[in-house]
Structure formats: C-alpha cells, structure tokens
Structure 1
Amino acid sequence: MADSGGPSALDSWRDSQAVSLHHIDPAPIESPATERDDLTLPDDVIDDEENYTPKDRRSGTAAAPGLSGTGRGAIYYLTRIQKYSSYAMSLFTTLHISNVSLIPAATGSVDASETYLLMTREIYQTSIAEPLLVILPVVAHVGSGVALRLLRRAQNVRRYGDRGLWTGRGSHGNTTSPWPEMSFISISGYAFMIFYSGHVLMNRLLPLAVEGDSSNVGLAYIAHGFARHPFVSWFSYIGLIGVGAGHMVWGTARWLGLAPSTRGWLKPRNKTVSVVVDRKTRRQRRRRWLGVQGMTVLVAALWAVGGLGVVARGGPTSGWLGALYDNLYAKAGL
C-alpha cells in the first residue's frame, strides 16, 4: 500500500507538466480567419470573383479612409476598378480589331479598308469618347493593378516585417519576399503595356506632336512602316498581338471564374508543399486550360488575319504622304 504522506502520481504528473511549460518557445499567434484582412489572401482568391466571399471583404488595416463602416477594404474596391475597367476597354478593343484586321481581311485591300477606319474613328476618337473609352479605363486598370500589389506588400510588411516570417528558403536557396507572387496574367499585363505604349506613341501621340493631328495616319501608315522598317514592325506587332490576346483572354476568364490558377507558374514559392489532386479534377483543369488557351489562339488569329496578313503586306506609300510617313518614323529614330 502506498505511503499517504508521499507525493501522489497525480502531483508528480502536474509538476512535470509545469516544468515543461517553461521550455516552450514563444510563437506568433495567428489572427482568427474571420478577422484577417483580405490583403493576406492569395492573389488567385482575391482576383477570383467566384472565391471572393463576404468573409474575405472585411476592412481590417487596409480599409480605405471613410470606408471602414462598409466592412469592405481598399482591396475590394481596387479589385473592382480593375475588373470593370477591363470591361470598358473591351468595347474599344472590339472596334479596333475590326478596323485593323477583320475589315482588311474581308476587303483584302488597305485602300478599301481606310474608309471604314475613318468611319469608326468617329466613335472612339472624339473629345468625349476617347477619354471615356480609352484613356480613363487604361489608367484605372493599370493604376489599380499597381496599387493592389503595393497594398498587399504593405500588409505583409506590417505583419511580418521586411524579413520576419518571410525569411525562408525558396526553390533556389534564396530568401522569400513580402511582395505578392506574380501570376501569368500579371506578368503578361506589364509586358502588354510596353507594347501598347509603343503602339500609342507611334500611331497617336507622335502624329499629334509633329503634325498637330492624326488624320493622315491610318492603315497605309502601318503598311508603310512594315515596308520601310520590317524588323521593328514585325517584332512590335507580333508582341502586341500575342501578349495582348493572352492577357485579355486569360484576364476575362479569371473574372468569369473560368480560368485555372496561374500562380506560381514561373517559380513555385514552396516546393515542399504537395497537393494531391484526383484524376477527375486534373481532367477538369486540363479542359479549362485548353479551352482558355484555345480562345487565346482564336483571338490572336482574328487580330492577325487582316493586320499581319493584309495590312503588313500593303507596301510603302509614295508621294507627299509617303514623305510625311518617313518624317514621322524618322522622328521616332527609325
């Protein structure tokens, strides 16, 4: 029979647990999921309308000034600016592709297509329509995209510091970064802006600066550039069409919830995480990928069939108009 004056087994167990508690290292406490700001959500969850639930729209520390009472933060509004500005640009894109590709493909002639270009220009190059259909949507789309990345990085830095919990080993032995991971849609968007800016500079801003207007700039001007400067022209327009079609189709599919994820396609952030996906899910993702990619190829083909198939082979322009075109390209350093 055990001695009643000695320590019991229960007392010994309690003492051992109390001692072990002193050796527990402190660890950061995660906030509850319902209180976490939408800035910490993955890009695909934030940008995916299908997965963006009211629970993820709490204001947290990223709420815009004066908007905290709505329960929706700055990320929510910036995401919608980016989304609906892309819808606004689709009208101009449709008209422009019709002018520079579909109509030339139907007529088979640059001269015969110029009349239709001048007619449709009256829709989107007026003093009212151009800012509303072209300038404002582009500025809003690009500006909101840049602001989204800056806000997400700021939230990560506030939580974990410049290095903090981000100090880990990446796939190539480098430390990770508080910057949000780039998706294919984001990278193609920045690349598209390079080609798009060059296109606007050559076809809209340069004629305005040199001639005072762009009334003499049309499809013949593009054909003249291909004839005089083939390498630069082919590179610029293939890049514009290829990158632009990919960005617009994949971006639209993402807003509609039809596109598979493109996060980590360039460099997976953590290769130690293994996700098991059943065969049916893989087939569904493959079909969605093939569907979006097929639509990308279709849009690029419609954009190129007349632009590269007819206009690019239209030949140089002679006379005073050809001299004017040569002067414009010379001003651009070509």
Structure 2
Amino acid sequence: MPSQPSKPEDIDTKSIISMQELDPSPVTDTPDVESGDYFPSNEPLPQHETGFLIPKLGLRGHRWDTWLTGFQKYSTYPPTAFFILHLANTSLIPLVTRSVPASEPYLLLTRPVYQAPGIEHLVLTLPILGHVASGIALRNIRAARRAKLYGAETRAQRDKLSWWPRMSLQARSGYVVAPLIGLHVLVNRATPVMVEGGSSGVGLGYVAHGFARSPIFWNVFYVIFVAASVWHFVGGWATWMGWRVTTVRKERGSQKGSLEGYLGYTESPSQKKRQRKMWWIVNGIAAVGASLWLAGALGVIGRGGEGVGWEAKGWNDMYSQVPVIGDWL
C-alpha cells in the first residue's frame, strides 16, 4: 500500500528548531550560512557596460542588515559615556561621601554636560531609540530570510523560525531595560517638566525623597533596573569584542539533526573551556558592577530620607502627578 505524502505541517519539528540556532549576530565567528557565504559562489563577476569585470568588493556592506548592525553597535557609544558618568554621580561619589547633600554638588557639576539643550537627545534619546529600532528591524529581516531559506510554508512553521522564541539572553535583557528606562525618564525628567517647567530641582534628594515615600516600589524597581541595565551593557560590549556569552542557549540533545553538525561547527574541549572562562569573566564583571551601583544607590541615596519645607512639598506634587502610577508613589 503506497504511503501517504507528508503534509507541510508534518515537517520534523526538531529540524526546524535546530535550524534556528543559525540566527546571525552582530559578531560572528562563522560564515553567514543564510546569506550563502559558507558555500563558494559559482556566479560570474558582474560586468560593466564596457565589458570589464567588476569584483564584488564590499558587496555585503551594502545589505540592510549590515548597515543596521553597524548602527546598532555604534549607537551604544554615547549612552556608554553617559552610563559611566551616571555611575559616578549616583553610586561612586555617594559611597565616598556617605551623604546625599554632600554628593549633590557633584551631580550639579556634571549635569550641564549631558542636559544641555540638544546634547541630551543627541547623547541619549536618539541613540537609544535607534538602538532598539535597529534591533527590531534586524530580527524581522532575519526572520523573513530564515523562513524563505528553509521553505516555511505554514504559519506554524514560520512561528518556529520567528525572532522571539529563540531570542538571545542579551536581546531579552535589552527589551526588559527599555520600558524601565522609560519609567525612569518619566519620573525624573518628563514629570518635572510637565509640573514645574523644568528639572532643575530634581537631584539625588528628589530620588531619596521618592524612596522614603514608596520604599518597597523603588527598591524593587532599582534592583531590577540596575541589574538588567548593567548586565545588558557589559554583555553587549563583550559581544562587540567577540566574547559571545549571552547568545541563544542550545537545547539539550539537539545536536542530532542540527545543521551546525552537518557543517562541521562543533566545539572542541578547549573551545568549551574558553567559553566557560569568558562566561565567568563577563558575568562576574556585570555582577560586581551591579552590586557596586546598588550599594551607592540603595545604601546611601535610598536611605537619605524625605526632604523638608517647600522643597519636599514640590517633590510631593511631582510624584503624585506622575502619569498612570502617581497614586502608587
């Protein structure tokens, strides 16, 4: 009795999942299989109208995903400079002075550097929005390319090759940090502008006052915010330098049927040892950085207490008028 032809829905699930392991990343040690770079091209070199051969010099650099990857990488430079400066203002200096009032002048000295008209958006707003947007665009482009390359015909097959289920830990941490940054900006920059027309009165004392008003909310918020942000920054810079420790974790037992195995991409014991070493170094730096930041933010600023007088009254008005969550603060 002849066997029934298999339907598209019956495609081996394990093979589909294993194919997703080839999701290209900004820094790659192996050729881009999806673009055909692994296999030698038999296509002749393009010819100009005059008949001369024109080599494909830098052709890959003109692909959308390559341009977007470059933009995603270099858009992290300005926020990193601010990140270091903000670490000093909100953690290192308070740890040294052990006092919110004594630390306040240092924040005021550096504030014109990144809050001058135009500079704030150039250093923070535009790079961060561009970083997130380019990341989403890259994943959409690569998801469409994978679906076309592997012949996904049904919605279920396309979903298995989509960008979210196999997103790396580095990317996931970034999407966690994005709304937390939004809330931080809403409370410390947007609301003061809406209420008082500016944020000149917002400093470490304002943050300490918020901790005193809602200690549980702000302690939980800043633990998650700082930990996720530091880990994302450190993991991102490690990735740019070739230390890939935050990529998609492979499923156990998925070597069988994996396209990587057929192409010969298997890790040697020395490579696995080096990978474990990199993992410990990168995550150790992130853990130390987050702990240091939280020590100053929660240990000093978080215990600074409420403000007094007219200043405290103004801060109370601002916290109560934060959109959506003002009643909780």
Q: By the TM > 0.5 criterion, same fold?
A: yes
Q: Deviations over 1:289-332 (max 9, x none)?
A: 00001110121123222111110010110111111111111112
Cross-structure match for 1:326? 316
Match of 1:118 among 68, 87, 108: 108
Cross-structure match for 1:166? 157
Q: Secondary structure at the match of 1:113?
A: helix
Q: Does 1:193 align with 2:178?
A: yes
Shift of 1:152: 1.5
Query: How far apart, in 1, do the equivalents of 2:256 and 2:124 lie?
Result: 45
2:94–2:300 Cα contact (<8 Å) kept: yes
Give the 3 Å change call, closer, same or farther, for CA 162–315 of structure 1 in structure 2. Answer: farther
Cross-structure match for 1:221? 206
Query: How far apart, in 1, do the equivalents of 2:111 and 2:213 lie?
Result: 26
Q: Deviations over 1:134-187 (max 9, x none)?
A: 1111111111011111112222344434527937xxxxxxx7243362000010
Query: How far apart, in 2, do the equivalents of 1:166 and 1:270 lie?
Result: 18
Q: Secondary structure at the match of 2:244?
A: coil
Give the 3 Å change call, closer, same or farther, for CA 109–162 of structure 1 in structure 2. Answer: farther
Query: How far apart, in 2, do the equivalents of 1:52 and 1:238 lie?
Result: 39
Greater RCO structure (CA 8 Å; 6+ sep): 2
Q: Does 1:102 align with 2:92?
A: yes
Cross-structure match for 2:22? 42
2:177–2:228 Cα contact (<8 Å) kept: yes
Give the 3 Å change call, closer, same or farther, for CA 221–195 of structure 1 in structure 2. Answer: same
Letter in 1 for 2:133: G
1:183–1:263 Cα contact (<8 Å) kept: yes
Give the 3 Å change call, closer, same or farther, for CA 162–264 of structure 1 in structure 2. Answer: farther
Q: Secondary structure at the match of 1:46?
A: coil
Letter in 2 for 1:201: L
2:89–2:106 Cα contact (<8 Å) kept: yes
Cross-structure match for 2:189? 204
Cross-structure match for 2:163? 179
Q: Structure 1: 5+ residue runs without aligned partners?
A: 1-22, 27-39, 59-67, 168-174
Alignment map for 1:290-301 (pairs within 5 Å): 290-301=280-291
Give the 3 Å change call, closer, same or farther, for CA 248–127 of structure 1 in structure 2. Answer: same
Give the 3 Å change call, closer, same or farther, for CA 207–57 of structure 1 in structure 2. Answer: farther
Q: How many residues end up aligned between the 2 structures?
A: 281
1:57–1:73 Cα contact (<8 Å) kept: no
Give the 3 Å change call, closer, same or farther, for CA 218–245 of structure 1 in structure 2. Answer: same
Q: Deviations over 1:264-296 (max 9, x none)?
A: 36x679574577644333221111100001110
Rg larger for: 1
Give the 3 Å change call, closer, same or farther, for CA 319–264 of structure 1 in structure 2. Answer: same
Instruction: Give me the TM-score of the superposition, normalised by structure 1.
Output: 0.75
Query: How far apart, in 1, do the equivalents of 2:216 and 2:65 lie?
Result: 42
Q: Secondary structure at the match of 2:167?
A: coil
2:21–2:248 Cα contact (<8 Å) kept: no
Give the 3 Å change call, closer, same or farther, for CA 244–278 of structure 1 in structure 2. Answer: same
Q: Percent identity?
A: 35
Letter in 2 for 1:280: S
Q: Structure 2: 5+ residue runs without aligned partners?
A: 7-19, 38-56
